[in-house]
Amino acid sequence: MARITAGVATSHVPAIGRAIDTDQTQADYWKPMFDGFEFSRKWEESEKPDVVFLVYNDHATAFSLDFIPTFAIGVAEDYAVADEGFGPRPVPAVEGHADLAWHIASSVIQQDFDLTVVNKMDVDHGLTVPLSLMFGQPEKWPCKVIPFAVNVVQYPVPSGRRCYNLGKAIRKAIDSFSEDLNVQIWGTGGMSHQLQGPRAGLINQPWDKAFLSDMVDNVARLVSIPPEDYIREAGSEGIELVMWLIMRGALDDQVTELHRHYHVPASNTAIGHLILKNGNNS
């Protein structure tokens, strides 16, 4: 049977991709941020996941303001890298796992979560930057990926509790898939940042660090945070953190924290990163 062995949380700042693509990772500005992912890349080399279920938000590439699904699952065999205005990132195309994706879609919809099923979509920095942070710069990504896009751009957005419970439904779906697969689930985005308005540049380190800690052993507090509190405390783009709760909902109640990294700033954003191993995996 398929099994979720670990969850990963990471920011997905587009400038990180630019730094990687232009060989700036060892520059003074960027080195401390990238140093925090050295453990993660080595860990992935030993873990060798078959599939990553990657939760992210689209940035007006697959969807526009004309059509914004709250939750959308990619069920294609492959996904092209999106052109976000400066040409596609020089990274490999993404190979999907259509069989597992369709199984998850069917199971989760039958658990009363309404998903938009997407047969063709390009994937942007929200998905490719986490892959680069965790896997480096391979000629081909070492595993298959199921993209799962969440609307955190156009209000109303889903609540943290809704996202957490969706994670539980995704876990049930993956556990019932018959093929023997090592699956990881990643929640991306955040941490605190605001890109516009009078509070542009906002970073709230105490709030971020409490969120990181509570992801491990006090998720009940996090699922109760209303969207308005994310905006007030973590900035307008801090709402992306609800995507981490999908990841956390798909894990066991008890998890083991393998790695934590926090760095500010990176392109006016607080960078957060966690690796959580499921409690039932040695």
Which residues carry out catalysis? 125, 193
Nearest in space to 181 (alpha carbons), one of 135, 145, 127, 136: 145
Report the alpha-carbon distance of residue 250 to residue 219 in Å, rounded.
Answer: 12
CA quadruple 279, 211, 109, 7: dihedral sign = negative
- With vertex at residue 127, the alpha carbon angle to CA 265 and CA 96, rounded to the nearest 5 degrees, is 160
Long-range contacts from 105-114, C-beta under 8 angstroms, 24+ separation: 105/73, 105/75, 106/173, 107/169, 107/172, 107/173, 107/176, 108/73, 108/166, 108/169, 108/170, 108/173, 111/169, 111/172, 111/173, 113/71, 113/166, 113/169, 114/70, 114/71
